[in-house]
Amino acid sequence: MIKLLLAGILWISLLITDLGGSTYYVGPTGNNANTGLSLGQAFRTLQRAANAVIAGDSVLVVDSTYVGFDLRTSGTAANPIVFMALGTQAVINRRNSVTQDGINIENANWIEIRGFRVINQPRAGIRAVFANNITIRFNTCLNNQRWGIFTGFTDDFLAERNECANSVLEHGIYVSNSSDRAIIRNNISHHNRAAGLHFNGDISQGGDGINHDPQVYNNIIYQNGLGGGSAINMDGNQNALIYNNLIYDNHATGIALYQIDGGGPSTGARIYHNTIVQDPVSRWAILLTNGASGADIKNNILINQHATRGTINVFPDSRAGLSSDYNIMTNRFTLTDGNSVIDSTAWRLLGYDLHSYFTPSLTNLFMSYSGANFNLAAGSRAINVGVTGLNIPLDLIGNNRVQGPAPDLGALESSSTALPLHWKNYVVRHIGHQFHIQGTILDMDIDTRVCLEKWVEYNQNYVSIAYKDLPSQSGMVSVHFEQPAIPGLHRYRLVATEQSGQIHRTKDLVINNELQHKVTIYPNPASSLLTLSGLSSDQVPQVMITDVYGRVLLKDTYTQPLNITNLPSGMYWITWAYRDLPSTTERWFKL
């Protein structure tokens, strides 16, 4: 760990030296009357630093909580402006004084934002508009009202190694308004209400309304779209290159190419080496409509678990130039937006997927789909059957793409090591007299430790209160902590630390014990109607009923009373959660 820390400090100092400008510091003990040019003379606010910087300057930020900032000064190609967190807990939890966002970059070019946690903002975590050559990397944007990261009129935008999750109304990352040559790579986008990644040319705002030549690769995108919105949405995007993305358990479309707001159709997309596994209540894996011609779809794994929807939904206006082959696909296709479905025989008669495979098995394809381990299993039908010449030299996690006589299908080559560690799900529940904090973590290193941290209002920071060392295995591991259910509002989070020093945090888990204690269930035992009394008057919770085996029987927005006529007699859990409190409460009832 000491060597890693020293290496990190050396890297930071080299970065500062290379930039060649002034280095400003911001910290919790600073003062805006200071010079800002040393830790001892640090500024207190980010906005004070934003007001001071010129091209070539850098701003180093000590762990603390901060008000956001608005930046309207440009760097240059040789001398960019860099804002960088020194630790892992430089948290922006209040909007800047100018816009509704945490960080706002406007009419400014050649800016880099690195390593911040931007949470609970009224609009975007990080916003960049009328700003070219913007780089956003290693940031965590959680629980923001509309978007994790938003851009508009931003040519040559780069977003990499960010986590964008739990956007309340819309998308994880949103690239809009005639923004050309965007690169979105190596990000994790999950549990956003709408799209994981959304690209919209939007001609109504000016420009040509086309996002030209976007590249979208090596992203992990899951559990998005409960409110609609694809894992990857493209409206008015041309010549997109989309590859090596792992897209699973999303609730709407996998990849959608269309034109609604864009200044032209989404033409010329190249869709290679993606793994898409659609949720049982999702839409089609790939949608081509509104003139989305010229799509090239090769070397993908495209599986849909929906009972009647399938792989490719292509409208007649989008068939021109369509090429699809060397894929593994669920055997359902449509030319009529699902009004009629054809099988592989009819699909092949149209000239498509003559070398593809149409009877996929999640069990045989992947190491463990249930454990979200998408490495290819031994003997998988996806191994060594791809077409060459697509110029995709590496897979999702950087291994050489071709390990055998031909490339494998999907985002991962069969010899790949485990996927990057990440949290699949996490929740805090109120059960009886305890809070149960649970999470599921994927693909950890050996000797990974998970800490339970609790927010201490007095310190305005999280402190560790318990930990567990995880077993040395790949795949999926669940962790569980219990805490006494004392009255009040409580915030927790789970933090996984790998042996290498890599740290992976969940979102904040908030539970209001005062609020939850007021709720009662009646009648219990119930017959056909069930009422939850004492719910907050300004919130409509989501409710879920599961049986004793954990099977979900009902999941919907609560209406009073709840009709449970269709449930057979037995014992059930009812779970409810308010929209702005990422926690749940569970209780038994009998029918």
Give the range among 154-158, 354-358, 533-537 with minimum mean pLDDT.
Answer: 533-537
CA distance 47 to 103: 10
Which carries the bigger pLDDT value, residue 195 or residue 427? 195
Residue 40: pLDDT above 50? yes
Which carries the bigger pLDDT value, residue 419 or residue 40? 40
pLDDT category at 445 given cuts 50, 70, 90 is low
Q: How confident is the model over 301-327, as a mean pLDDT? A: 97
Residue 19: pLDDT above 60? no
DSSP 285: S
Question: H or E stretch including 418?
Answer: none
Amino acid symbol at 456: V
Give the range among 46-50, 326-330, 332-336, 499-503 with minimum mean pLDDT.
Answer: 499-503
Bridge-based pairing of strands 183-185 and 211-212 is unpaired
Give yes or no for a contact between 141 and 171, defined as CB atoms under 8 angstroms apart: no
Which carries the bigger pLDDT value, residue 372 or residue 46? 46
Residue 537: pLDDT above 70? no
Residue 433: pLDDT above 80? no
121 alpha carbon, distance to own chain's centre: 17
CA angle 25-27-28, nearest 5°? 165
Question: H or E stretch including 193?
Answer: none
| Residue 13 pLDDT | 31
Residue 8: pLDDT above 60? no
Phi-psi region of 236 (alpha: psi -120 to 50; beta: other; left: phi over 0): left
pLDDT category at 7 given cuts 50, 70, 90 is very low
State in Å, rounded, how far the first CA of the chain is from the last one: 55
Residue 444: pLDDT above 80? no
| Residue 447 pLDDT | 72
Q: How confident is the model over 422-433, as a mean pLDDT? A: 79
Which carries the bigger pLDDT value, residue 17 or residue 393? 393
CA distance 302 to 280: 13
Counting residues of the chain whose pLDDT is more than 70, the rounded percentage is 87
- State the residue for tokens 């880099």: 112
| Residue 157 pLDDT | 98
pLDDT category at 6 given cuts 50, 70, 90 is very low
CA distances from 591 to 1, 410, 451, 527, 562 (A): 55, 46, 39, 6, 13
CA distance 10 to 12: 5
CA distances from 559 to 529, 530, 542, 564 (A): 11, 10, 9, 12
For the chain, what is the mean pLDDT?
88
- How many residues in total does the chain contain? 591
Residue 115: pLDDT above 70? yes
Residue 505: pLDDT above 60? yes
Give yes or no for a contact between 570 and 548, defined as CB atoms under 8 angstroms apart: yes
CA distance 286 to 247: 11
| Residue 584 pLDDT | 54
Q: What pTM was estimated for this model as a whole?
A: 0.78
| Residue 278 pLDDT | 96
pLDDT category at 536 given cuts 50, 70, 90 is low
Amino acid symbol at 83: F
Q: What is the pLDDT of residues 52-75, one digit of tens each?
A: 999 999 999 999 999 999 999 999
Give yes or no for a contact between 147 and 162, defined as CB atoms under 8 angstroms apart: no
| The pair of three-digit structure tokens given for residue 410, joined into one six-digit string | 């999907």
| Residue 570 pLDDT | 80
Q: How confident is the model over 468-496, as a mean pLDDT? A: 80
| Residue 529 pLDDT | 86
- State the residue for tokens 């050559």: 133
Residue 553: pLDDT above 70? yes
pLDDT category at 526 given cuts 50, 70, 90 is confident
Residue 12: pLDDT above 70? no
| Residue 269 pLDDT | 98
- b/e map 26-49, b = 16+ CB within 10 Å: bbeebeeebebeeeeebbbbbbbb
| Residue 511 pLDDT | 81
Q: What is the pLDDT of residues 574-588, one digit of tens each?
A: 776 655 444 455 556
For residue 301, list its beta bridge partners: 275, 328
| Residue 16 pLDDT | 37
Residue 91: Cβ-neighbour burial (10 angstroms; 0-12, 13-18, 19+): buried
